Chain A
Amino acid sequence: MWSKKAVAVAGGAIFLTLAGLIRLNYLFISAGLVMLTFVVLSSFLDVWMPNVKVRRETSSDNVFEDGTINVKFIIKNTGLGLGFVEIYDKLPPQARITKGSNYTLLYMKPWQEVSFEYTLKLSLRGHYHLGPVRMRVKDAFDLFYNEKLEQSIHSFSVFPRIEVLEEQVITSRAPKLLSGSMPLNLIGSGTEFYSLREFVPGDSLRSVNWKALAKKGKMMVNETVREDVMDVILLLDAREVSAVGGGRDTPLEMSCRAAATYAKQLLDERNNVALVTYGDSVKRVDLDRGEHHLFKILTSLSSVRPEGSLKLEIVLKDLLPYIPSGSPIILFSSLDDDYTISEAFTNTISRGYNITTISPSSLDFEEKMKRIPHQPLLIARIERENMISEIRSFGMTVGDWKADEAVNTVLQGG
């Protein structure tokens, strides 16, 4: 193939020759012809093609958003050819190089092994891959080159960022056999104070409230909130409309980060967690617990793409028969473009489920990008506030999540 230099030299030579013809200038003609001859003769030079083996060593196969990954690129010349090789390791467009370079110019001797390193920063969740490797070998004068694509692919995942939740806001009314750390709205054995009652025979002396005895003159005991494990369903809205905004500032990205944060917290507290995403179809990661399950949920969250327009009512109607009764559901949705929300909540609540909603506001992103005029924005805000008020009137908790707020603060006062 012709390099840019060859095209420039040949182009210049042709121009000189033609200009010489037009102006009847022998100087230009002969100079142009000499340059053209040089280019044509250079095309006879052999351009070797490297026979190489490529491998990569990475610091980790999975990173969280804004995390870095170190890549060591090792290339071995297994052939007899030698010379300059340009090597370009293709990166995903979302990746930013913070150290080193994914491009190098190497002089390779037969059987020589060379390595170079670079560090990538990835700020958006997803499944990515490094490669293929593009190798380019030029002739002695860099006029002609050959390219080879080495199909060496290295896959890795970027998980949504996890924040630390300061307080527990999810409660359940469905007791389980195993005790855990989740407070239920029921009296039982736990650490959190619930109420005082009179002492009855059989009560442990440890639970006697001695201050109350001194004050009232009769034996009173402390009752505590029952703490148990829960089955928690994380319901994530991945419809096309959730991709409003751009880059990391979309309701879907915020929802994924929140879902990852809650999944981590709930699994750390030994609960069973399931993840359900809906967009063009319903995808689920079934109830389970443990570190391995967190990995499954994070992997699933990394795969989420905004597509489809399934309505919440249909999703819940399909889902509720499979959810253990009374289990809390956490919905991550911007609540946009769905006229079935009220009905979906009514049906779900009437069956005894509790839905906590974490709703990233898409209007903030639209306003930030100046894509929505002032008046329509005002109306849209009022509509959103009405929607949230309506859900709250059902007795459900809704966190109106503004852009740039931490997940931690969403449900406080919600």
Chain B
Amino acid sequence: MEEVEIKKSRMPKIDNIINYKDFFGEYPLIFAIKIISSIAMFYVIYEFFVYHNPLDSLITKYAPKVIANFKPNPNIFVIWGFIAGFCFYIFTLFKGKYKLLILILTLAIVGQYISDPALDWQVGESVIPDKVDTNGDGNQTQWEWKPVKIIYDDKKGTNERIDDAKVRLSNMIFGIIPFLGAYGIWKRKGWAIAASIGLVIIIGFLYNPNLCLENYDATYCGYDTMEKELTWKEYLSGGIFIGLGFVIYIELSYAAIKYENYAEQFKPAGLDASLLSASQKKSVAKTLRTLFVSYLINLGVMLFITFSVAEIVININYYLSTTDGRIQDSIELQGPYGIVFTSLIFFMLLGFLRMFIGAEYDREDN
């Protein structure tokens, strides 16, 4: 029988271009956890900057001296920072030369964007090379190279583009937060998640007290005060939601890492395929599902208790500071110091309680 020669296709297989299996993973549940974590992260960061104007940040005080038009806008940097982080994760999935190709393409596009209005390409009458009439009557022609000139032109356009780049730069600085968060969740990098949370606090660290929003004008604040002025009580309840949001983000993103690590250990290093058979895989998926549902219930209950306790603590402080009696004379108790003081007393009581409640373990006594 004649052997049929199978011709090798010139088209590279998708497996050789991108490790798409890593994107979806082996277990749909983990993919779902990642999506939920991403939504939680997006919500938390966005909410944080709704309550906390980025123009109040410490960095905003000093950055405009170096970068003009420093106007970070949460509506832009949260979504685009997240998209950039996700795209960077996709980039890491590409293999070898394709990764390099994408990098070069990206650099070229960025270069083109920056240089486009400033550079004018002059190529003469027609595209090079061209048949040129040498004696003027059209009888004698010759192939010739037309000179190409790159002229620095349109200074105004360039300046506009540079200003635009500076505005983008301010958004890029704040955009690092969702960028790292998205990358951390999808690439299973704990340090990136921790860094994104840390940066929320560091980059967002206040320069002006929030009082600026209520009582001060542009000369004090350095920018126009927000239209919507919030009371300190609204800030407190906003803070509770942001605090809960932080907890949800941290918990879900670490859960994604934890459960994926659990599933990953059945996969040998450097290989895409799992060592498990189909039935074993099903069993792992079932375990993961049970674990995650139980985890979500735990988290839900704990968040509800946390929310209730936080509300109680803050309201107790409000009650103590407004009720009749000598205690209301304390100015400190009516302010933020009072809230912290009441909370510390509450934590102390919880500490006492912890001494008597909770798990006790067997000890070896001699």
Chain A interface residues toward B at CB < 8 A: 5, 8-9, 12-13, 15-17, 19-21, 23-38, 40-44, 46-49, 84, 101, 104-105, 107, 140-142, 146
Contact = CB atoms under 8 A, between A and B. Distances in A.
B310 to A, nearest CB: 5
A17 B244 CA distance: 14
A104 B232 CA distance: 49
B359 A24 contact: no
A27 B358 contact: no
Contacts of A13: 243
Contacts of B232: 26
B243 A26 contact: no
B261 interface: yes
B201 interface: yes
Contact of A31 (B194, B211, B246, B254): B246
Interface in B330-355: 335-337, 339-340, 343, 347, 350-351, 354
A84 B258 CA distance: 10
B43 to A, nearest CB: 14
Interface stretch (B101-109, B128-136, B297-305): B297-305
A46 B243 contact: no
Contacts of A107: 262, 287, 291
A226 B237 CA distance: 102
Contacts of B251: 141
A43 B353 CA distance: 11
B310 A49 contact: no
Nearest to A104: B265
Interface of B: 51-52, 194, 197-198, 201, 205-206, 209-211, 232, 235-240, 242-244, 246-247, 250-251, 254, 258, 261-262, 265, 287, 291, 294-295, 298-299, 302-303, 305-307, 309-310, 313-314, 335-337, 339-340, 343, 347, 350-351, 354, 357-359, 361-362
Q: Give the one of B239, B291, B347 with max A CB within 10 A.
A: B239
B202 to A, nearest CB: 10
Contact of B347 (A27, A36, A142): A36
Given A17-B340, A46-B358, A28 B206 contact: yes
Contacts of B52: 27
A88 to B, nearest CB: 13
11 contacts: A26-B239, A27-B235, A27-B242, A28-B239, A29-B340, A30-B236, A34-B240, A34-B243, A36-B343, A38-B247, A38-B303
A29 B310 CA distance: 11
A33 B235 CA distance: 13
